[in-house]
Every structure is written in structure tokens, then in C-alpha cells.
Structure 1
Amino acid sequence: MYTVKDAARITGLTEHAVRFYTDKGLVPSVQRNENNIRLFDEQSINWLHGIKCLKQSGMPIEDIKMYVDYCLEGDATIQQRCTLMMEHKEAALVKLEEAKLHVAHLEQKIALYQAILENRSPDTTNPGNWEAIQHMHCDVFYSPSESRKA
């Protein structure tokens, strides 16, 4: 049997994470001794490895709990587990596309800063200077009376 400290060392999780996951009911095989101290067997360690893998994929705790519950129900839930993974994959793909947009935006900003540093463009990045350059960005800035109407 392993302690929380042992389980953390074996799995590469923090002790806090091990306690958190057990408190959330994600490690069904965890036991407690007469002093209410958590004790982990090999199966508990396997659950922790599985949870770590799902968490690293970005799966929310609620979905990991659902996955654990499905696993406890046995082979009859293989389709539900597969569906859960497919849904998680779709959510991850949406986040990936959002991340690509963020990177593209950052690339544009970096190009702008490089142009500023090379004196090819005025500094339009500082909000403190925007009042003086509104004429350059009429598509972004609005007159005070128009912004109050919105």
C-alpha cells in the first residue's frame, strides 16, 4: 500500500492533486486506514495514471468523473466512453482553432512591433496615444457620442 506521498512520486502528480482527485471520487479503489489516511494499491495508482492522462488532454474534472463512472459500470459502457472521447476531441479541435487564431493575431502584433522598432510605423500599440492617432484607425475608434449610444 502506498501513501499520498508515494502515489504522487509514482504518478508524477502533486500530493495536492492526488488528494483532490480522491476527494472528487475519481479513484474508486482508494482505501483509508483506521486514522482515515488514504492508502493506494496498484489499482489506485492505475486510476491516477489514467486521470493524469485525461487531465493532460484538457478533459474537465466533471467529464473525467463521468468516464470513471462508465468504467466502473464495465464493458456495457464502452460506447459511452467512446462517445465521451469523441466529444472531448471535438472540443479540443475547437480550442486548437481558437489557439491558431490567437497565434495569428500575435504574429500580426509582433510584425507591428518590428515595424515600430525599425521606424517604419508609428507606435499605435499604446492606448495612451490613441487619441492622437484616431484618424489612422477610424475603423476601430468611435467618437465619444457614438460610443455612448451603443
Structure 2
Amino acid sequence: MYTVKEIATKLHITEHTVRFYSDQGLIPPVKRDKNNNRIFDDACLNWFIGVKHLRDSGMSIEAIKEYVNLCLEGDQTIKRRYEILKRQKEIAEIDFEEARLRLDYMTKKLDHYQDIINKTIEDDMNMANW
């Protein structure tokens, strides 16, 4: 069993986020110890991992809630769940490509600045020199 703090540490999220996901019904079923503190088993940990990945991919809490509810409904929702994940994957691929383009831009700028630092070219990046 895991505490809120242990889940937060394992997944590199805040304790507030752990409680929020739990309160939003994204982590079924939540159990409580004798002091009424939330405790989580390995199945809950798996839910947290899935929710974290979906959030990190940009999926809204409402869409994740829909996905979780479909999972809980069972096998008759497999096709719908597949479509949800397929759509989110397409969004993640676009985000990934945009991040790659930003990284390429920054790499080229840093290479250019390194050439300026090494005095292989003049400083053409400083607007004061234009």
C-alpha cells in the first residue's frame, strides 16, 4: 500500500495533485486507513501512471474522467477507449514535432553563438551592431 506522499514521490507529482486526481474520481477505488488517510494499492498506482501520462499529453481532466469511466464499464467500451487514445496520440505527436522544431532552433542558435564566442564569425546577433 502507498500513501499520498509515496505516490507523489514515485511519480514526481505533488501531493496536491495526488489528492486532486483522487477527488476527481480518476483513481478508482480509493481506500482509507484507520485514520481516514488515503491509501493506494498497485492497481491505484497503475491508474495514477496512466492519468499522469494522459495529463502530460495534454488531455483534459474531463476527457480523462470519461476514459476512466469507460474503462470501468468494461469490454464493451474498448473501441471507444481506443479512439480516445488514438486521438490523444495524434495530439501528442503534433506536440512532439513542435517541441523538436523548437529544440532544433535552439541548437542552431547555440551553435551560432558558439561560433561568435570562438571568434570564427562576428557578432551578428546583437542588434546594437546592425
Q: What TM-score does the superposition give when structure 1 sets the normalisation length?
A: 0.66
Shift of 1:61: 4.3
Q: Quote the sequence identity (%).
A: 41
Aligned counterparts, 1:18-57, within 5 A: 18-32=18-32, 36-55=36-55
Supply the AA of the counterpart residue of 1:22.
S
Displacement after TM superposition at 1:29 (Å): 0.4
Query: Does the CA-based 8 Å contact 2:26-2:68 persist in structure 1?
Result: yes
Q: How far apart, in 1, do the equivalents of 2:107 and 2:33 lie?
A: 55
Contact (CA 8 Å) 2:59, 2:88: kept in 1 or not? no
More divergent stretch after superposition (15-24 vs 43-52): 43-52
Instruction: Report deviation, 1:33.
Output: 5.8
Q: Which has the higher contact order (CA 8 A, sep 6+)?
A: 2
The structure that has the greater radius of gyration is 1
1:71-90 matches, within 5 Å, as 71-90=71-90
Is 1:12 aligned to 2:10, yes or no? yes
1:75, distance to aligned residue in structure 2 (A): 1.2
* 1:42 CA displacement: 4.7
The TM-score, its normalising length taken from structure 2, stands at 0.74
Q: Tell me if the contact between 1:70 and 1:77 (Cα under 8 Å) persists in the aligned partners.
A: yes
The count of corresponding residues between Structure 1 and Structure 2 is 127
Range that drifts further, 93-102 or 112-121 = 112-121
Asked if structure 2 preserves the Cα contact closer than 8 Å seen for 1:29 and 1:41, the reply is: no
Give the root-mean-square deviation of aligned CA atoms: 2.8
Q: 2 CA distance for matches of 1:107 and 1:43?
A: 41
Name stretches of at least 5 consecutive residues in structure 1 with no aligned partner: 134-150
- Equivalent in the alignment of 2:108: 108
Task: Give distance in 1, aligned partners of 2:14 and 2:3.
Answer: 10
Deviations 1:52-105 (A, max 9, x none): 44445x243423222211111211111111011111111111112112211221
